Amino acid sequence: MAELPGRVLVYGVTGSGKSTAALAIGARTGRPATLVDELTWLPGWVPVDGEVQRELIGEVVAGERWLLDSAYGAWLDLVLPHTDLVVGLDYPRWLSLGRLVRRTVSGAISKEPRCNGNVETWRNIVARDSIIVWHFRSFARKRSRMRAWAASPDGPPVLLFRRPRDLEAWIDTLGPAAADA
């Protein structure tokens, strides 16, 4: 069994399954995952003030052991210097977009609460600032960022996964760390 480093960032494009991956890693290792959306969105899909977000994330990454399911560009500078490992979900667009559309439409139908009680609505799905539009706006930037991190000797190690089954196989190698158990 491999031991998970102390400070882990799961990173990927919108819809790649970062939260699901972080929760699976946490379940396997006993390390609680911090779901970023819980810290950055208030009820009614109102964003938490940017400075408050920086404070909240700064508190998380000041710790010795953490598992984050994302890092927004507005405070990535706080996270990356403290990261021991980046788990990059570098999946094809069709996969991440398909997951995102299914999740979003399913949420609009079921009204199942997401972060902080927020629910998807049909209006949000077709809005100019919808999460689906955000996927198209941010895909290339996030993918390039992951690949640049992986190619750079200066940052934390990066495990890039191109297929979900490869991520699942890696998670299966993990065991609980003595300090986390």
* pLDDT band (50, 70, 90) for residue 129: confident
- 79 contacts 7 by C-beta, under 8 angstroms: no
User: Using an 8 Å Cβ cutoff, are 37 and 117 in contact?
Assistant: no
- Please report the domains of the chain, with CATH numbers, ordered by start residue: 2-173 (3.40.50.300)
The CA-atom distances, in angstroms, between 105 and each of 41, 159, 163, 179 are 19, 30, 23, 40
What pLDDT, in 10s, does the model give residues 3-48? 899 999 999 999 999 999 999 999 999 999 999 999 999 999 999 9
| Residue 24, token pair as written in the block | 């699976």
**Which pTM does this prediction carry?**
0.93
Higher confidence at residue 140 or residue 129?
Answer: 140
